[in-house]
């Protein structure tokens, strides 16, 4: 195991965004899991409360994360309660409850001890025009090549109850397991009620401990203002369950214990049935949708939720208890007990503890629509509340003697229709003027099926159930699902004059474990459609995306985005964890570019056209005399140069200080004003000798001399 600290490179644009979205709880550490199709943030206090990272209602639980504004999480909560508890001052509480979320921060009750990221691999270097390109900042503390998951956050904290909590949150990049995160919780009676090493309650028994989790789902951010502002806080969220043992649902095939949610009916929206949130006339408030996004595509087709993988029977019996969680219910998201929580208010904690032990109540979705025909439902999911409803699970009661522990394991995931299906089905629905009875055909795996728009949306539930089953199978295998190939550790994209150049690195020792590489490209936007444009052999390390590309080369003036995957061998896929047969691919999220690459200025036609800009270069000048972009202003440009050229730079006295080998086929090249020994130049007159090395040019071999002035 190799441990290291990683320096984070944050482009100026992203840094500005981070500053504008300043953390609400800056004293608590946060980090993201983002190497699969599901991205979510986590905080050192143990639950991702409302506005806990940025002041935005919907933030986190993004799927599919390559697309913008797919956030479906509004708030989470973790409460721990016990009976007959006495604090270090001798004060007794009939019920004691400590809280983090859905609104309170946990300050004074939660004392973070550890928050670190362990990764199977170092974060790949993805560069566009030499600048790091990434969607989210990555902070890796430790590399462990033997880690079963691709990434794991280890979070440990003491609580004012004297229970120390550790949670290990894992993400897998296997393409069939990358849309869920698994969290292993361990609750230990340490007697430590604060952040110090001293143990204040070494002999305290934690009686009838309840562990209470809430999830306020809101599917999803992109359609909030188009369907209605209140959908942003989940007023229309539908919540259903499986595995709660209620007799009226005894015939269900699914045996897992799960809570799940989707974007339900919003009666205030009357233009058409909003299930799936078709986008006909986008509301551009917040920048979540573009004005041109009018095809009718489904904008909120996701199903999100959580499934229990394991819950200890007791501290002495680690076997899974199918009767846990003992509470499976829903709670009003704006219920009075969900804000201003006070761990010293005895009367209120009695009510909170009763809520935690509410048992397995009637399911929210079936209260809203007793027939269970959710595709046809026009009922109001809010049930008259102002904030909608949150899913809630309560585990326990457990009694912990000093030093005893219990363990609970959950998976949280998202799934639904494919993006292509959402686009096509939504478009057909709009073209039919919102006909809710229209049978819309769509082909899946060679089989064409016809369903109504609402029926298609509800098939996302089956997709989420498949996700739950895969998470369960992964856990039961001991996290022994097939490993995808090692991702390329370096992926560089550079726009040139006659193509966009891609090169990558790959460990030679791993070449025997792959059949090659696949390169995908999208035009205009990072979250548009990607198409396979090139297949490379295991030993290849370079590709020029130009006129010879079978799918067509890049067009000047357009933005292009890329990712590369290593393709494994089918024989290495064991099928463990319900993984479908066939070769696996390294995750695109390791090597996705988030900044555009473009064809550069075409090469000059004549050596006599070459110009140096700015000339003179004046360091403290503004207003057009220096460059002002992400690369910084300290550089000069050589324009209209040949496709291939060598530029030698000298002082006025003839001392050679730098050479530029120009090989990308463009008509421009840049110098950052540093010598080859990486010393910043001083003020003076400089000479550039430019030699034409383009063998196809009539001026091949010709040299031209240009002078320029630098004022530092």
CA angle 184, 185, 191 (to 5 degrees): 155
Same domain, 314 and 209: yes
CB distance 133 to 112 below 8 Å: no
**For 115-123, what is the mean pLDDT?**
98
**For 168-190, what is the mean pLDDT?**
99
Same domain, 246 and 313: yes
The DSSP output letter for 385 is -
Whole-number Å distance between alpha carbons of 593 and 491 = 9
Phi, psi of 19 (to 5 degrees): -65, -45
Band (27; pLDDT cuts 50, 70, 90): confident
Q: Is 368 a domain residue? A: yes
Question: Which of 519-528, 536-545, 617-626 shows the lowest mean pLDDT across its residues?
Answer: 617-626
Same domain, 157 and 248: yes
How many CB atoms within 10 Å of residue 640?
A: 17
**For 276-302, what is the mean pLDDT?**
97
- Count Cβ atoms within 10 A of the Cβ of residue 99 and give its class: 0-12 exposed, 13-18 middle, 19 or more buried: buried
Q: What is the CATH number of the domain that holds 572?
A: 2.60.40.10
* pLDDT exceeds cutoff 70 at 710: yes
Maximum CA extent, the chain:
94
- Name the domain boundary from 568, 599, 630: 599
Note if the bond before 397 is cis, omega within 30 degrees.
yes
**For 307-332, what is the mean pLDDT?**
99
- Name the domain boundary from 564, 599, 634: 599
- Name the domain boundary from 575, 599, 623: 599
Q: Who wins on pLDDT, 21 or 699?
A: 699
Whole-number Å distance between alpha carbons of 518 and 530 = 12
Same domain, 459 and 328: yes
Mind listing the pLDDT tens digit for each residue in 632-648?
567 899 999 999 999 99
Phi, psi of 343 (to 5 degrees): -75, 10
Candidates 420, 460, 427; CA nearest to 301 is 460
Same domain, 82 and 198: yes
Strand, coil or helix: 578: helix
What is the CB-side half-sphere exposure of residue 420 using CA atoms within 13 A? 7
The fraction of the chain above a pLDDT of 70, given in percent, is 95
Question: Which of 90-99, 420-429, 455-464, 602-611 shows the lowest mean pLDDT across its residues?
Answer: 602-611
**For 534-553, what is the mean pLDDT?**
97
Q: Is 571 a domain residue? A: yes
Percent composition of the chain: helix, strand, coil (DSSP 3-state, to 5): 15, 35, 50
Residues in the chain: 712
* pLDDT exceeds cutoff 70 at 245: yes
* pLDDT exceeds cutoff 50 at 357: yes
Q: Residue 2: its pLDDT value, please?
A: 33
Strand, coil or helix: 17: helix
Mind listing the pLDDT tens digit for each residue in 201-219?
999 999 999 999 999 999 9
The DSSP output letter for 407 is E
Same domain, 246 and 277: yes
Candidates 413, 424, 486; CA nearest to 451 is 424
* pLDDT exceeds cutoff 80 at 13: no
Candidates 625, 609, 623, 610; CA nearest to 709 is 625
* pLDDT exceeds cutoff 60 at 631: no
Same domain, 616 and 539: no
Mind listing the pLDDT tens digit for each residue in 48-78?
999 999 999 999 999 999 999 999 999 999 9
Gyration radius of the chain over CA positions: 29
Phi, psi of 416 (to 5 degrees): 155, -160
Band (20; pLDDT cuts 50, 70, 90): very low
CB distance 139 to 132 below 8 Å: no
Band (498; pLDDT cuts 50, 70, 90): confident
Q: Which residues form the domain of 234?
A: 35-123+133-414+455-466
Q: Is 25 a domain residue? A: no
Same domain, 623 and 593: no
The domain tally of the chain equals: 3
Q: For residue 183, what are the β-bridge partners?
A: 169, 410
Q: Which helix (H) or strand (E) holds 20?
A: helix 12-20
Same domain, 641 and 685: yes
Q: Residue 627: its pLDDT value, please?
A: 57
Q: Residue 25: its pLDDT value, please?
A: 46
Band (138; pLDDT cuts 50, 70, 90): confident
**For 164-170, what is the mean pLDDT?**
99
Q: Is 444 a domain residue? A: no
* pLDDT exceeds cutoff 80 at 456: yes
Beta strand pairing status for 206-217 and 258-263? unpaired
Same domain, 155 and 248: yes
* pLDDT exceeds cutoff 50 at 166: yes
Band (626; pLDDT cuts 50, 70, 90): low
Question: Which of 153-167, 169-183, 630-644, 680-694 shows the lowest mean pLDDT across its residues?
Answer: 630-644
The DSSP output letter for 609 is G
The DSSP output letter for 480 is -
H helices within 409-538, ranges in order? 419-431, 453-458, 460-476
Kindly report each contact of residues 20-27 with a partner whose C-beta sits within 8 Å and lies 24 or more positions away, as own/partner.
21/54, 21/55, 21/56, 22/54, 23/53, 23/54, 24/51, 24/52, 24/53, 24/54, 24/55, 25/52, 25/53, 25/105
Phi, psi of 462 (to 5 degrees): -65, -35
Give the dihedral of Cα atoms 629, 633, 639, 642; nearest 10 deg: -90
Strand, coil or helix: 233: helix
Q: Is 573 a domain residue? A: yes
DSSP secondary structure string for all residues of 85-118 = EE-TTS-EEEEEEEEE-SS---TTTEEEEEEEEE
Phi, psi of 34 (to 5 degrees): -150, 30
The fraction of the chain above a pLDDT of 90, given in percent, is 91
Whole-number Å distance between alpha carbons of 331 and 311 = 22
**Mean per-residue pLDDT of the chain:** 94
* pLDDT exceeds cutoff 90 at 23: no
* pLDDT exceeds cutoff 50 at 334: yes
**For 289-310, what is the mean pLDDT?**
98
Same domain, 537 and 590: yes
Give Cα separations from 350 to 94, 103, 108, 319 (angstroms): 8, 19, 20, 30
**For 406-434, what is the mean pLDDT?**
99
**For 703-709, what is the mean pLDDT?**
97
Q: Is 230 a domain residue? A: yes
CB distance 276 to 196 below 8 Å: no
Q: Is 670 a domain residue? A: yes
Give Cα separations from 359 to 127, 300, 319, 323 (angstroms): 53, 31, 21, 10
Whole-number Å distance between alpha carbons of 9 and 73 = 27
* pLDDT exceeds cutoff 60 at 679: yes
Q: Residue 429: its pLDDT value, please?
A: 99
- Count Cβ atoms within 10 A of the Cβ of residue 120 and give its class: 0-12 exposed, 13-18 middle, 19 or more buried: buried
Q: Residue 19: its pLDDT value, please?
A: 34
Same domain, 625 and 576: no
CA angle 518, 523, 529 (to 5 degrees): 65
Give Cα separations from 214 to 75, 355, 418 (angstroms): 8, 12, 28
Band (7; pLDDT cuts 50, 70, 90): very low
Q: Is 671 a domain residue? A: yes
DSSP secondary structure string for all residues of 348-370 = HHHHHHHHHT--BPPPHHHHH-T
Whole-number Å distance between alpha carbons of 579 and 674 = 52
The DSSP output letter for 591 is H
Candidates 473, 475, 589; CA nearest to 530 is 589
What is the CB-side half-sphere exposure of residue 462 using CA atoms within 13 A? 7
Band (14; pLDDT cuts 50, 70, 90): very low
Band (256; pLDDT cuts 50, 70, 90): very high
Question: Which of 176-190, 321-335, 512-526, 596-610 shows the lowest mean pLDDT across its residues?
Answer: 596-610
């Amino acid at each position: 195991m190799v441990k290291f600290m990683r320096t984070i490179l944050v482009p100026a644009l992203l840094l500005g965004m981070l500053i504008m979205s300043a953390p609400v709880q800056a004293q608590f550490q946060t980090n993201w899991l983002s190497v699969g199709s599901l991205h979510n943030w986590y905080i050192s206090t143990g639950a991702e409360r409302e506005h806990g990272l940025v002041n935005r209602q919907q933030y986190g639980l993004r799927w599919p994360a390559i697309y913008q504004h797919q956030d479906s999480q509004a708030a989470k909560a973790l409460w721990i309660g016990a009976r007959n508890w006495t604090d270090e001052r001798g004060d007794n509480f009939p019920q004691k409850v400590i809280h983090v979320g859905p609104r309170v921060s946990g300050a004074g009750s939660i004392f973070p001890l550890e928050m670190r990221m362990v990764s199977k691999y170092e974060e790949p270097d993805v560069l566009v025009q030499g600048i790091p390109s990434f969607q989210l900042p990555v902070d890796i503390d430790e590399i462990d090549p033997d880690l079963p998951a691709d990434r794991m956050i280890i979070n440990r904290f003491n609580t004012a109850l004297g229970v120390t909590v550790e949670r290990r949150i894992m993400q897998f990049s296997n393409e069939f397991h990358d849309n869920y995160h698994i969290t292993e919780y361990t609750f230990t009676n340490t007697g430590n009620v604060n952040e110090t090493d001293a143990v204040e309650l070494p002999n305290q028994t934690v009686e009838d401990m309840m562990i209470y989790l809430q999830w306020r789902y809101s599917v999803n951010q992109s359609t909030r203002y188009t369907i209605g502002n209140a959908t942003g806080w989940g007023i229309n969220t539908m919540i259903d369950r499986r595995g709660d043992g209620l007799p009226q649902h005894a015939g269900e095939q699914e045996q897992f214990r799960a809570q799940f949610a989707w974007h339900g009916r919003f009666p205030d929206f009357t233009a058409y049935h909003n299930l799936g949130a078709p986008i006909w006339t986008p509301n551009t408030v917040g920048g979540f949708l573009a004005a041109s996004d009018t095809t009718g595509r489904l904008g909120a087709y996701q199903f999100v939720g959580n499934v229990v993988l394991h819950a200890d029977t007791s501290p002495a019996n680690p076997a899974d208890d199918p009767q846990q969680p003992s509470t499976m219910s829903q709670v009003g998201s704006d219920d009075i007990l969900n804000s201003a929580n006070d761990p010293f208010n005895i009367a209120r904690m009695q009510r909170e503890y009763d809520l935690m032990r509410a048992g397995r109540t009637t399911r929210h979705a079936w209260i809203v629509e007793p027939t269970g025909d959710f595709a046809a439902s026009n009922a109001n999911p809010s049930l008259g509340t102002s904030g909608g409803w949150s899913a809630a699970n309560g585990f326990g009661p457990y009694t912990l003697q000093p030093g005893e522990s219990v363990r609970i394991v959950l998976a949280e995931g998202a799934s639904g229709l494919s993006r292509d299906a959402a686009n096509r089905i939504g478009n057909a629905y709009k073209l039919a003027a919102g006909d809710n009875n229209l049978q819309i055909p769509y082909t899946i795996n060679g089989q064409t099926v016809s369903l109504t728009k609402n029926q298609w949306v509800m098939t996302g539930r089956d997709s989420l159930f498949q996700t739950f089953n895969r998470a369960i199978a992964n856990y039961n295998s001991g996290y022994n699902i097939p490993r995808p190939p090692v991702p390329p550790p370096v992926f560089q994209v550079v726009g040139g004059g006659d193509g966009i150049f891609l090169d990558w690195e790959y460990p030679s020792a791993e070449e025997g474990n792959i059949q090659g590489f696949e390169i995908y490209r999208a035009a205009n936007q990072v979250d548009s459609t990607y198409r396979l444009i090139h297949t490379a052999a295991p030993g290849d390390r370079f590709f020029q995306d130009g006129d010879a590309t079978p799918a067509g080369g890049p067009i000047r003036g357009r933005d292009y985005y890329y990712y590369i995957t290593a393709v494994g061998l089918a024989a290495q896929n064991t099928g463990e964890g319900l993984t479908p047969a066939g070769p696996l691919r390294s995750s695109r999220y390791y090597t996705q570019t988030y900044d555009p690459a473009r064809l550069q200025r075409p090469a000059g036609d004549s050596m006599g056209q070459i110009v140096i800009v700015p000339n003179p270069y004046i360091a403290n000048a503004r207003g057009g005399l220096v460059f002002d972009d992400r690369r910084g202003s300290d550089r000069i440009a050589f324009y209209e140069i040949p496709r291939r050229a060598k530029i030698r730079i000298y002082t006025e006295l003839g001392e050679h200080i730098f050479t530029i080998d120009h090989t990308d086929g463009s008509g421009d090249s840049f110098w950052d004003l540093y010598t080859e020994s990486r010393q910043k130049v001083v003020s003076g007159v400089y000479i550039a000798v430019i030699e034409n090395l383009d063998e196809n040019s009539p001026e091949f071999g010709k040299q031209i001399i240009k002078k320029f002035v630098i004022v530092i």
